[in-house]
Amino acid sequence: MSSPKFIKVEDNGHLYSIDHFSVPRHYEDSIGSILIPHGLIADRIERMARDIHEGFEGESMILLCILKGGFRFSQDLMNYIGAINCNSGKSFQIGLDFLRLKSYTNEESGELKIMGVDALESLKGKNVLIVEDIVDTGNTMQQLLKTLDVYQPKSVKVASLLLKRRPDSTGYIPDYVGFEIPNKFVIGYALDYNEYFRDLNHICVINDFGKKKYAI
């Protein structure tokens, strides 16, 4: 039997206490628990880099980082793919571009805004790897893929660090997924709650106090 293409974090799976890991002191009162410690995130991304590298057949790749949440994942993924380029028989150039998407206030999903659309014109004929922090319902990624199509890239793949288990999911599954997670609002490793918690290394679940403290 082959393994699923991601690590499944179960609904009633192990949660780590913030007493056992380092978290910024200013967030200690607002984190419920740690869902994925930073070391595990790093180890998983190293393997995702290998899978992406093995599956890629072009001469160059544009890594399209979706800001702001995809920033840390993109950086770590690029470093790991870069290391494989230095140490294996196959090597390809990696270019970098950025798009900013915004669709959430508090925990509510709103209308999708794409900023930096100029970057899309330069993607014509290129092999693009979209690097995203999380796919929740899948609506954002499906809209983005449709928009991207208009600019005629040669190929498009999507790597998302997280995929949420949602009953109302569109069914969209990215090409590369780090972890499938429970239907909870998560923060950390560049994922925010109203711009807070990006400076937290672990992926965590916010508590009710934190939701109120950082609500807008």
Where in the sequence numbering do the catalytic residues fall? 136
**Tokens (6 digits) for 89:** 């028989």
135, β-bridge pairs:
163
Q: Does 180 bind ligand 5GP (CB under 6 A)?
A: no
Of 188, 171, 80, whose CA–CA distance to 129 is shortest? Answer: 80
| Subset of 95-114 contacting ligand 5GP (CB under 6 A) | 103-104, 109
Number of residues that bind ligand 5GP (CB under 6 A): 19
| Subset of 51-80 contacting ligand 5GP (CB under 6 A) | 69
Closest distance to ligand 5GP from the beta carbon of 127 (Å): 22
Residue 215's alpha-carbon distances to 43, 102, 107, 149, 209, in angstroms, are 33, 17, 9, 36, 10
Residue 77 CA to residue 103 CA, distance in Å, equals 24
Q: Does 136 bind ligand 5GP (CB under 6 A)?
A: yes
Q: Does 147 bind ligand 5GP (CB under 6 A)?
A: no
Residue 191 contacts residue 204 (beta carbons within 8 Å)? no
Q: Which is nearer to ligand 5GP, 6 or 56 (CB)?
A: 6
| Subset of 148-177 contacting ligand 5GP (CB under 6 A) | 164
Q: Calculate the CA 203 to chain-centre distance.
A: 11
* Omega prior to 68 cis, within 30 of 0: yes
Q: Does 48 bind ligand 5GP (CB under 6 A)?
A: no
Closest distance to ligand 5GP from the beta carbon of 54 (Å): 26
Contacting positions for ligand 5GP (CB under 6 A)? 69, 103-104, 109, 132-140, 164, 185-187, 191-192
